[in-house]
């Protein structure tokens, strides 16, 4: 007899929303995350585009979502899921901590994405010591200092606007031009201590023990530039957090989970939701919508199992 009706892996916006819908469908729910509930929004200064909310601090929104799960008594635990096993009507969720194993009738995979790295030889040396992927976590260290942001998409531009309010100078180095929302791009361009270098390839992070700068080369003219800086923030895209699913056949060539419009994967009883699935728009509102659909489908599946 399975211990749970549904285990939700990942407590970001999609996983938390799935847990709310599952609890309201009277399912026995377990919500797991290797970190504090909230997912990527915890480390985001301002969340935009969530209907009816306007602009909200990411950690505040995460806390509100978690509170909502607790009003419905959703069971939450800190666990890193390393494997999912399908045994037909029962699935096993295996965790890293103490090799803990849970049994469940259904699983919802909501493990989101993580920031991509440039993989330059000098990058590892300065990881967490000059190079960061989280402006909210590490931005304050660079108050009145010189900072470079790498990337030109929505995350890069939004986090640059946040950093520009703290640092002495901000240089943006990007492979193409800025590709974020036009309103955000205009706001960033209007800031007087911000300089943008479009169409550049980053070649090297300079410095021996301490990061001293970034060297890059124009993809149009071949001209090389080195900008001195105290810190670098990389926002060059995301990759799915789905390593624990390799060899399951559930992933596409880029590691995203393949689902249909009901959030069903190729394995009956296993659903996926949010940023980790194959989709075009990765935002809080779409993650929550996927989570709601996945939970509703999982509850119908359990009803069918129970006859």
Active site residue 134: yes
Q: Does 80 bind ligand FAD (CB under 6 A)?
A: yes
Q: Does 229 bind ligand FAD (CB under 6 A)?
A: no
Reduced to 3 states, what is the DSSP secondary structure of residue 127?
A: strand
Q: How far is CA 300 from the centre of its chain?
A: 28
- Between CA 109 and CA 33 the distance in angstroms is 11
Q: Which is nearer to ligand FAD, 95 or 196 (CB)?
A: 95
Q: Does 232 bind ligand FAD (CB under 6 A)?
A: no
- Residue 39 near residue 62 (C-beta atoms within 8 A): yes
Pick the catalytic residue from 77, 138, 181, 201: 138
Answer for which of 5, 29, 44, 175 binds ligand FAD (CB under 6 A) is 44
Residues 252-291, one symbol each (x = binds ligand FAD by CB under 6 A, - = not), give ----------------------xx------xxxx-x----
Q: Does 293 bind ligand FAD (CB under 6 A)?
A: no
Residue list 153-172, contact with ligand FAD (CB under 6 A): 155, 158-159
The C-alpha angle 269, 5, 257, rounded to 5 degrees, equals 35
Active site residue 137: yes
- Dump strand ranges (E) for the chain: 4-9, 29-33, 46-50, 54-57, 75-78, 81-87, 90-95, 101-109, 113-115, 131-132, 146-150, 169-173, 194-197, 200-206, 213-218, 224-228, 231-234, 238-240, 270-272
Given the rule CB under 6 A, which residues bind ligand FAD? Answer: 9-15, 32-35, 39-41, 44, 47-50, 80-81, 110-113, 155, 158-159, 241, 244, 274-275, 282-285, 287
The catalytic residue positions are 134, 137-138
């Amino acid at each position: 007899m399975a211990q749970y009706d549904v285990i939700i892996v990942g407590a970001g916006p999609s996983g938390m929303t799935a847990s709310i819908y599952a609890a309201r469908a009277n399912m026995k729910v377990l919500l797991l995350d290797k970190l504090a509930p909230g997912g990527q929004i915890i480390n985001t200064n301002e969340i935009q585009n969530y209907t009816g909310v306007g602009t909200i601090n990411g950690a505040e929104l995460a806390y509100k979502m978690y509170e909502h799960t607790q009003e419905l008594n959703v069971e939450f635990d800190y666990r890193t899921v390393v494997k999912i096993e399908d045994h037909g009507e029962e699935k096993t969720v295996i965790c890293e901590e103490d090799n803990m194993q849970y049994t469940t009738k259904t699983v919802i995979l909501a493990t989101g994405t993580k920031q991509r790295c440039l993989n330059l030889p000098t990058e590892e040396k300065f990881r967490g010591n000059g190079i960061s992927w989280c402006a909210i976590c590490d931005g304050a260290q660079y108050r009145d200092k010189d900072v470079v942001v790498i990337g030109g998409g929505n995350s890069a531009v939004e986090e640059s606007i946040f950093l520009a309010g703290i640092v002495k100078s901000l240089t943006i180095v990007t492979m193409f031009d800025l590709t974020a929302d036009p309103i955000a791009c205009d706001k960033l361009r209007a800031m007087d201590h911000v300089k943008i270098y479009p169409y550049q390839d980053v070649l090297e992070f300079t410095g021996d023990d301490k990061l001293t700068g970034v060297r890059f080369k124009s993809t149009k003219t071949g001209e090389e530039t080195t900008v001195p800086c105290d810190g670098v923030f990389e926002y060059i895209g995301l990759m799915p957090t789905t390593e624990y699913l390799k060899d399951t056949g559930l992933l596409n060539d880029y590691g995203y989970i393949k689902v249909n419009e009901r959030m069903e994967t190729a394995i009956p009883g296993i659903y996926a939701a949010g940023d980790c699935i194959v989709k075009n728009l990765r935002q809080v509102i779409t993650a929550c919508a996927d989570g709601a659909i996945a939970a509703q489908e999982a509850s119908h599946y359990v009803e069918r199992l129970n006859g």
